[in-house]
Amino acid sequence: MTDAATKPDIKGEQVTYRAGDTTLKGYIAWDANKPEPRPGVIVVHEWWGHNEYVRRRARMLAEEGYTALAVDMYGDGKEAAHPEDAKKFMMESISNADVAKARFLAAYELLKNHPSTDPTKIAAIGYCFGGAVVLQMARAGADLDGVASFHGNLSTESPAAPGAVKAKILVLHGADDPFVPKEQIDAFKEEMNAAGADYVFIEYPGAVHAFTNPAATETGKKFEMPLAYNEEADKKSWAELQKFLRSLFSDS
């Protein structure tokens, strides 16, 4: 029989923090039955904003033994119900690179200072818009052990300089994603090679945009967008993430 003290006791709570004049509302999850500090993982939401999906991923990471912070890149925990609003929120967030970076780093500091987190071991993952965010932070040389992008945009107006990328990179991509054409993939790989980055790129045949989100198929039909959930790709990509995180924190 398993001792009750060894069973995960997942705690989750909303956290409020600030970047400049903007109030941000995130969600942090951890296993209260793990007394020792453990690696932290930042989780960046899709373009829909900070919603239940990104909070669920944070809890899943807590179950794997990490402290996970689902961040807010839009401010006030804003969520979009329509693609037009999502696009507006996203463009407001990324139109000023310094603002986006400040919001990410504010979350980074919050996670580092949480009592359950080992501040020397921090990674970041992101979905769609969030994938683009974590890749951009890696390009900028953020002090992260690794970043993982799930069906994220790969293009950038600020490519990585040689030697700038400190984080290891994992890209989990839907091979049939119409939002990320082959030209964008080729350019990303050329950029990473030129920068000397340590990266792995994995494609899932038949998977399109948002393949990890169970709500994607219904949303795609509702708004006539090429979105769809792919259970096989979801499970395989999550398993790849766990391997990646273990490799980053192998001495944990």
Q: pLDDT tens, 185-228?
A: 999 999 999 999 999 999 999 999 999 999 999 999 999 999 99
Q: For position 73, which CATH number holds?
A: 3.40.50.1820
* Domain-embedded: residue 157: yes
Residue indicated by tokens 């999502």: 86
The residues, ordered by sequence, that sit 6+ positions from 81 with a Cβ below 8 Å of its Cβ are none
Supply the pTM of this predicted model: 0.95
E strand residue ranges, 90-207: 117-127, 146-150, 168-174, 199-204
Domain carrying residue 66:
4-247
Confidence of residue 2 (pLDDT cuts 50, 70, 90): very low
CA-based max dimension of the chain: 55
Task: Give residue 252's pLDDT.
Answer: 45
Residue 237 scores a pLDDT above 50: yes
Residues recorded for the chain = 252
Confidence of residue 250 (pLDDT cuts 50, 70, 90): confident
SS3 136: helix
Distance CA 43, CA 30 (A): 13
* Domain-embedded: residue 19: yes
Quote the DSSP letter at residue 79.
B
Q: Which residues are paired to 213 by β-bridges?
A: none
* Domain-embedded: residue 116: yes
* Domain-embedded: residue 252: no
Q: Which residues are paired to 172 by β-bridges?
A: 150, 202
What is the total count of domains within the chain?
1
